[in-house]
Amino acid sequence: MATFRSARESDLPEIYYIFYLNETAYASAPRPKRGEVAADFRHIHKTGTMYVADDHGRILGFAASITRADKTFLTHLYVHPDHQSEHLGTQLLQFVLPTDKEQTRFTVSSTDLRALSLYIRLGMQPQWPNYLLGAFGSPTISSLQTEIECQEGVTDDPQFAEWDSMASGRRRPEDIAYWVSEQQAIPLWFRRRDKTVGYAYVSFNTSSFWASDVCTIGPLGVKRAEDAADCVLAAVRWASQHKARAYRIDVPGPHPCLAPLLAAGFRIFYNETFVSSAHTPFFDPRCYIPSGSNLF
């Protein structure tokens, strides 16, 4: 019988193996190489809450969350394929999600309908699809032309944290520091006719067992939905001018950049469902691009 405990740093390789088994379960043979534990896992373990189901020293599943201000994001919930449908996931969530109903809980659910059903039962209602887009090589530059000017910022400029808090709905200095230090994220300002209309972080040191040296665009935020698509296209154009060869960007369904990115050569490689316990959205999905599925 499994017992539940806080994850130790020494558990991370086994935790990452369970994640790998689930993520590559339907991959064409041969499976990609697993590689080292992804840096996101170490960051979440350090700054969040991570629990495991332990059966006499063997980890059967894990769950993790990060709490930033009054909002808790479920980053992971995975059970070893040999032990699924044993209700381990339901039990794990009791340790990583807040019991205070005033605390917003949210996540992006996979296409596994068992997971989506579980989140709905826990009070997290589906809000919109979240599309994971990727591109290899150079996007169609002619499709990226906008009047938005990109300007590199200074990593310790506190205005970036202010903009990110406004766009994402939560203050998270520890995540910003992680993107800058571990993922070589470059902060960008977007200006239209000398007026600042948005911000972004573009990371050049993100990789997974699916691809290496991927340029991740996000988080990215604007105040007005009218500026949203142009700022995303400007970020992609800026990244292409800085030798990016593979791109990753996660796009909420209502965001106006979705069609222009597809026209520029991006492809949808997965779709998730954004679910939240908040009665009203705490950020505008037309104005915000998340950092990815792990930290959002």
Cβ neighbours, 10 Å, residue 167: 22
Q: Average pLDDT for residues 150-154, to the nearest whole number?
A: 97
- What are the structural domains of the chain? 3-102 (3.40.630.30), 132-289 (3.40.630.90)
Which residue has tokens 């296409």? 111
Per-residue tokens: 112:
């596994």
**The dihedral formed by the CA atoms of 153, 154, 155 and 159, expressed in degrees to the nearest 10:** -80
pLDDT of residue 85: 84
Q: Sorting pLDDT into bands at 50, 70 and 90, what band is 245?
A: confident
pLDDT of residue 178: 98
Residues 205 and 183 sit within 8 Å (Cβ to Cβ)? yes
> Minimum mean pLDDT among 22-31, 163-172, 210-219, 247-256: which range?
22-31
Residues 177 and 186 sit within 8 Å (Cβ to Cβ)? no
Using the predicted structure, report yes or no on whether residue 135 has a pLDDT greater than 90: yes
Q: Average pLDDT for residues 186-213, to the nearest whole number?
A: 92
Show Cβ contacts of residue 5 under 8 Å, excluding neighbours closer than 6 positions: 51, 52, 54
pLDDT of residue 141: 65
CA distances from 159 to 22, 120, 217, 224 (A): 39, 36, 19, 17
Q: Among candidates 201, 138, 142, 140, which has minimal Cα distance to 168?
A: 201
pLDDT of residue 143: 67
Q: Average pLDDT for residues 18-46, to the nearest whole number?
A: 91
